[in-house]
Amino acid sequence: MTEPTDVDHDPAVTSRRRFLREGGALMGGAVLAGGVAGRDALAATANADNLPPNVPEWMKTPGDPMGSQLYGTPSPFEKSVVKNIPKNLPQYLSASGRTPLQDLDGIITPNGLFYERHHGGVPTIDPAQHRLMLHGLVDKPLIFTMDDIRRFPSQSHIYFLECSGNPVYKKPYGKTASDLVGLVSCAEWTGVSLKLVLQEAGLQPAAKWVVAEGADAAAMTRSIPIEKCLDDAMLVYSQNGERLRPQQGYPLRLLLPGFEGNMNVKWLRRLHVTAEPTYSREETSKYTDLMPDGSAREFTFYMEAKSIITRPSGEQRLSAPGFHEISGIAWSGHGKIRRVDVSVDDGKSWQEAQLQDPVLTRALTRFRIPWHWDGQTAVIQSRAIDETGYVQPTLAELLAVRGDNHYYHNNAIWPWRIAADGEVTNANA
């Protein structure tokens, strides 16, 4: 873990500041190891000089001056809240990093914690040299600069984005909410309706698909049905108010609300309007779903309704019996979340959770339900129902139809087991 450089290189850094940083490092370790209980344990070992009735030291001297961080970073005490990167992968160019869902509140994922998946590393692209080419079955093939793209009427929408392999069907199953479904995130996206850009070139009657290509080392290519391109698809240049991060496709990406993440092509440089899909490697060899009979589903675009309890969740620990709010996130590629049910008795009975407004189409929806933990072993889980009436299935229900060689689109319910000592673990593991 690295310090923010603008703090580290500040010659005016004080001993108080170093104390904070070292304290942060200690705390980071405690949080990683012990989850919720880790924070409580550290509080118990805090310097009594800073606790009531004493006045804490950070009130007895001025804080950092304005401008000490030109781009703000989280408190050093939050340095353990980082992307969840798998250890010991054979290579990290085609890999994924997960959002620490269990450490986040609300529905918006901070840009620095948004999940990542790329196939040829993260390119560094000068926007002044980036071009979007639109060609194929159009009246007038066009090339756009980034300035051109930003001249179009803009729009902003909050949508989730989810990798289709989140998680896979085979064991071992992850220990934390992030391990399990951390390849989902949610942001406010700003850009232009793809429909406007396509109309600028003039679609020909035979146009049925748009092949999108990224300007990365994989030249990642996916075919998008024209219906989606003319519906809610966007060309996005900003995320949560600032320009896209390189990991999210800077300077331009495709955003297809509700469709599997891989189709939301990053570093977008080319749109090829065609009559047929291109049948690229990413839509034949990959991102197809093998069935037990050896057949495989192709063009499985939508992410179905899903939810997970993020607090309490795996590797956290309930400090004591008594009141605990159960909270989590739900989402559906088919629209709005209509209802989330929660069970605290291993699925024997279910209660409807409260949904936090706003409940937006194809966005994360925060749900909560109050719970009194009696200190006994318990299994808690959530079940999302979307506006189409579709109900999130159990892992057993999914496996019975699709088998465990199915790789993508696992939207199973994930139950958490709470032990008598408060430790939370994956009940399916």
| Interaction residues for another protein, span 273-332 (CB under 8 A) | 274, 276-281, 284-285, 288, 290, 292-302, 304
Stretch that binds another protein, among 37-45, 241-249, 311-319, 340-348 (CB under 8 A): 340-348
Under the criterion CB under 8 A, does residue 86 sit at the interface with another protein? no
Under the criterion CB under 8 A, does residue 227 sit at the interface with another protein? no
Least gap, CB of 276 to another protein (angstroms): 6
Query: Given the structure tokens 């990290």, which residue do they identify?
Result: 92
Least gap, CB of 344 to another protein (angstroms): 13
* Strand partners of residue 343: 381
Under the criterion CB under 8 A, does residue 397 sit at the interface with another protein? yes
Residue 150's H or E segment, with its range, is helix 146-151
Task: Write the binding mask 374 to 393 for another protein: x where contact by CB under 8 A, - elsewhere.
Answer: ---------x-x----xxxx
Least gap, CB of 183 to another protein (angstroms): 19
364 in Cβ contact with 160 (< 8 Å): yes
Comparing C-alpha atoms, which of 157, 161, 160 is closest to residue 190? 157
CA gap 175, 315 in Å, rounded: 7
What one-character-per-residue DSSP string does 231-256 give? TT-EEEEEETTEEPPGGGTTT-EEE-
100 vs 393 by CB, closer to another protein: 393
Least gap, CB of 81 to another protein (angstroms): 31
Interacting positions 105-124 with another protein (CB under 8 A): 119-120
Sign of CA dihedral 386, 391, 394, 395: negative
Half-sphere exposure of 415 (CA within 13 A, CB side): 21
Beta-strand pair 116-118/142-144: unpaired
Residue 148's H or E segment, with its range, is helix 146-151
215 in Cβ contact with 123 (< 8 Å): yes
Interacting positions 150-189 with another protein (CB under 8 A): 151-152
Interacting positions 19-78 with another protein (CB under 8 A): none
Binding residue for another protein, selected from 140, 323, 372, 376, defined by CB under 8 A: 140
Tell me the two tokens of residue 377.
Answer: 């072993």
Least gap, CB of 59 to another protein (angstroms): 52
Interacting positions 235-274 with another protein (CB under 8 A): 269-270, 272, 274
6 vs 200 by CB, closer to another protein: 200
Under the criterion CB under 8 A, does residue 347 sit at the interface with another protein? yes
Under the criterion CB under 8 A, does residue 230 sit at the interface with another protein? no
Binding residue for another protein, selected from 402, 416, 424, 426, defined by CB under 8 A: 402
Least gap, CB of 175 to another protein (angstroms): 25
CA gap 4, 84 in Å, rounded: 19
Under the criterion CB under 8 A, does residue 87 sit at the interface with another protein? no
Least gap, CB of 117 to another protein (angstroms): 15
212 vs 364 by CB, closer to another protein: 212
Stretch that binds another protein, among 14-22, 100-108, 135-143, 421-429 (CB under 8 A): 135-143
Stretch that binds another protein, among 40-48, 57-65, 199-207, 242-250 (CB under 8 A): 199-207
CA gap 39, 424 in Å, rounded: 16
Q: Judged by CB under 8 A, how many residues of this single chain contact another protein?
A: 76
Query: Given the structure tokens 């409807």, which residue do they identify?
Result: 352
Phi, psi at 148, each rounded to 5°: -60, -50
Half-sphere exposure of 292 (CA within 13 A, CB side): 8
Least gap, CB of 74 to another protein (angstroms): 34
Binding residue for another protein, selected from 52, 349, 357, 372, defined by CB under 8 A: 349
Comparing C-alpha atoms, which of 380, 230, 215, 397 is closest to residue 313? 380
Least gap, CB of 374 to another protein (angstroms): 20
With b meaning 16 or more CB within 10 Å and e meaning fewer, what string describes 95-134?
ebbbbbbbbbeebbbebebbbbbbbeebbebeeeebebeb
Least gap, CB of 228 to another protein (angstroms): 13
